[in-house]
Amino acid sequence: MDEHRPTGCRRLIISLTIIIMGIILCSVTIVLTTDSLCLADIAPRLPYYPNAAVVREQHSFLRLFGMGVSTVELTSTDDVNTVTSWYARTVSAVLRDRAASGTQGQYGQAEWSVEAADGGGSRITLLGVCGT
């Protein structure tokens, strides 16, 4: 005589666990990949000015210039025109190199600004936004 054996919830629990683990693995992979793409894109476009002092670094997710919003404030004893000229040359060189190599994709927004600091010198603000 064939008896039907109740399997209970065991198969259901195992199946749901596998599905949940798969979703978590895919989500983590997507987040880490996006974070790495953001960092590789934004960090070269927002270099730190040579010999500048870091006043504040702040980021909203895993790391600076990765996914999320990143802000860096720097100060330099150099005047505004010197710093602005350096950023214009340096950032445009990065963009030219990318265009020449065919890697023009930009995943995030990168902005820099320079203004006169109290007491002389310059205050530099770097802003990176990606994946938000």
The per-residue pLDDT for range 8-18, each reduced to its tens digit, is 788 889 999 99
pTM of the complete model? 0.86
Domain ranges, ordered by start, for the chain: 10-130
* pLDDT digits 0-9 by tens, 44-83: 999 999 999 999 999 999 999 999 999 999 999 999 999 9
Helix orientation angle between 10-45 and 80-101, rounded to the nearest 10 degrees = 120
Phi-psi region of 51 (alpha: psi -120 to 50; beta: other; left: phi over 0): left
In Å, how far from its chain's centre is CA 96? 21
Structure tokens at 26: 């895919």
With a CB cutoff of 8 Å and minimum separation 6, the contacts of 115 are 80, 122, 123, 125
DSSP tag of 58: E
Please check whether residue 41 is in contact with residue 130, taking contact to mean a CB–CB distance below 8 angstroms.
yes
- Report residue 97 as tokens: 């190199």
